[in-house]
Amino acid sequence: MDTTTALTADVLVIGFGKGGKTAAHALTDAGKRVILVEQSDQMYGGTCPNVGCVPTKMLVHYSNSKRLEDEAQQFFANSIEGVRALTSAFRAGNFASLDGKDTATVITGAARFVDEHTVSIGEGDDRITVTAPTILINTGSEPIVPDIEGAGASAFQVSSTDLIHAERLPRHLAIIGGGYLGLEFASIYRQFGAQVTVLEEADRLLAKEDTDVAEVATGILAGDGIRIITGATVTGITDTASNAVITYVKDGESHTVEADAFLAATGRRPATDSLDLPAAGVETTARGAVIVDEHLRTSRPHIFALGDVNGGPQFTYVSLDDARIVIDQLLGDGTRATSDRVAVPRTLFITPPLATVGLTEREAREQGLNIRVARENVADIVAMPRAYTVEETRGVMKFILDADTDLILGAAILSIDAQEIINTVALAMRQRVTATTLKNAIYTHPSSTEALNEVLGVIVG
């Protein structure tokens, strides 16, 4: 006898991430019957508030507030407890705010497509099916497991989630990969007091950034005591009783580094393997990303994909914009598209943070553009006393300007408050505000933004 519970909805959302939950709220408020399926009760709200942006940036805050007299292990344990309290509150709030609505239901379990309108959740007597004319896929991404001999079997391998929840501060943390995730954890754990080694396969860190900016960032990290080994290819990992021995090759020679914890920060891939997308006729790329058009419709027009799962930029705020596009498709005039996005900024939360937007100098010159470059070290910016008042004068600000139009083509800001300054710059780029206008604007004092009054006039090339 079939005991499956069959449910129907106007819209089915698979995944409780930023894009999915934002769309679910808007659709519910518009009178639609919405069912949202999330595979884990520890992920209500998605990656950002649970294991991503919120806990890691909270750890940045805690690590930077550590005093010399604080005992490292106890301070770290207290910090982790603070992170747990906040993420638990966010998780509960996310669940209650959606499930508490009259026309919304949250189901916890892994969804798998049965056909293009139906998913199955659970097995046996607990099996539920949900059928809907419109489906949103918002399952996010998952870490890429590197093919390194011995890594999977090592007792000392940790994930980013493990590091967020672990109560013990590693004595020596090795990080394989010098991308955003790797460098953020390197900075955090070094500030907490751990020894940190970063093994990066490329010849330098931040290979996508201009060399001068990357060198300043690398110098700051190294100055904080982080051991950085570039041009290093990790070939194997073996365990001893007390640590992992990581073997790497650099310049044709084999070397080892010992660590009592290591993180493989080698990127993330769309989380689609368990969805059985072929059953719904939804096409994916070779990497597993759901293929979408500029309105985020998949190969089945009634199925949308939002956030990391569609292979776009892996940022929470991009997932939010994905939700705006889908909401416009379902409730609006359907004109909003991914092609509307201009000057999307990004921030690497090392200390101080590095925020960038638009073109690098290298990219602009490769395109043959007629440019001017404005650049100044933070320590030399007279118009930015805030850097001195908070005792953080490390870094550099660099702007790429169109010499013919005076428009800003790109910026790299490595400084205190960079994550805030970059939003002003990005808005100016979207609205085609000239560099001169931005330079001559009135800003509060003392603030970091007023550095624009000076730096945009320091032309170096």
**Binding-site annotation: residue ranges:** 57, 139-141, 177-184, 200, 267, 308
CA angle, 67 as apex, 64 and 71 as ends, to 5°?
110
Q: Which of 248, 267, 142 is nearest to 197 (CA)?
A: 248
Distance in angstroms (rounded) separating the CA atoms of residues 199 and 264: 10
Q: Is residue 445 among the annotated active site residues?
A: yes
Burial state string for 112-139 with b = 16 or more CB within 10 A and e = fewer than 16: bbeebbbbbbbeeeeebbbbbebbbbbb
Known binding-site positions for FAD:
57, 139-141, 308
Burial state string for 258-275 with b = 16 or more CB within 10 A and e = fewer than 16: bbbbbbbbbebbbbbeeb
Known binding-site positions for NAD(+):
177-184, 200, 267
Question: Is 158 within 8 Å of 174 (Cβ atoms)?
Answer: no
Backbone dihedral angles phi then psi of residue 327, each to the nearest 5 degrees: -60, -40
Distance in angstroms (rounded) separating the CA atoms of residues 157 and 330: 44
* One-letter amino acid of 397: M
DSSP at 195: E
In the chain, the N- to C-terminal Cα span, in Å, equals: 77
Question: Is 259 within 8 Å of 244 (Cβ atoms)?
Answer: yes
- The residue from 25, 165, 172, 445 that is catalytic is 445
- Does a cis peptide bond (omega within 30 degrees of 0) precede residue 352? yes
Question: Is 375 within 8 Å of 398 (Cβ atoms)?
Answer: yes
Q: Which of 94, 84, 81 is nearest to 43 (CA)?
A: 94
- Which residues are catalytically annotated? 445
